[in-house]
Chains A and B, each alone.
Chain A
Amino acid sequence: MGLAADASIPKSQDDTIARAQAGDHHAFADLYAANKRRVYSLCLRMVGNVAEAEDLTQEAFLQLHRKIATFRGESSFSTWLHRMAINVVLMHLRRKGLQLTSLDEAMEPAPDQRPGRSFGAPDLTLSGAIDRLALQRAIDDLPAGYRLMFVLHDIEGYEHNEIASLLECSIGTSKSQLHKARLKLRDALRIHPAFEGRR
């Protein structure tokens, strides 16, 4: 059918979207070329695995191809596609066993999980430069639900009300999960050998 990802010819996005909605394969290829980096980056951040991110990017654009005719412009195309990609990742994580309902457990953590328990003296190792590799490792080690919340809020810039809507949880849960994710990262960095001696 002659699909070719070519973003070399500048066109208005509205025009491109309209043509893709009408079944123009070249227009769809242009949309892919224009949006592939953002969608792939999102998938990679959310799952932390290159192979999975590639599959999810493919799935997100396949969904786009199926549903583009339903795009009515209520939100920007970019936002619409981004949400579609997030939902694809969420479906994937749910299939892998992520229980988003369990997020509510974070609202009432067990006493031994409260942040104050592990709270010690100020740790100046975290006030200076953070070891990027150690932080990356710590994020990779986060439970999927915490990682999801952390990426959506701190990396992708979603507000708590948007996350609550996306994940079908309460705003309080979103806040609580994000906080717990940050605490887990902090604990991981405090004990990580890479931080020994850093000031």
Chain B
Amino acid sequence: MTMSQTNISCSAFQNQLPQLIGSGENVSNHPHLQSCDLCRALLSELEVIAAAAHDLFPSAEPPDRVWYKLKVAIESEEAGSYSN
């Protein structure tokens, strides 16, 4: 990031944001954010959403019927009668 990045518009910064977030860099250090409350808030909100979503989906156990249906499908396939 160069000093010229300090003066870029919010629109230009937000257009860069997908690449910046995916780059592995610490986006919060971007020069534009040092002087822009709006874009800093945007980044913060996106980070809050990502963190919340990460905790939203606990792992779940499939019901036993999945195994029973799988077993039947495998047995049918092995018997040569399975058709897909």
Contacts and interface: CB of A to CB of B under 8 A. Distances in A.
Main secondary structure, interface of A, reads: helix
Interface residues of B, number: 42
Nearest to A136: B56
Contacts of A26: none
A65 to B, nearest CB: 5
- Size category, A interface: 35 or more
B53 A185 contact: yes
Contacts of A65: 74, 77
Contact of B56 (A28, A66, A135): A135
Interface stretch (A76-84, A96-104, A171-179): A171-179
Interface in A84-111: none
A177 B63 CA distance: 33
Contacts of A116: 10-11, 14-15
Nearest to B10: A116
Interface of A: 1, 3, 5, 28, 32, 36-41, 44-45, 53-54, 57-58, 61-62, 65-66, 114-116, 119-123, 126-127, 130, 132, 135-136, 139, 150, 154-155, 160, 171-172, 174-176, 178-180, 182-183, 185-186, 189
Given A41-B60, A44-B57, 12 more contacts: A40-B60, A40-B61, A41-B57, A44-B60, A58-B70, A66-B77, A116-B15, A119-B14, A127-B45, A135-B49, A179-B17, A179-B18
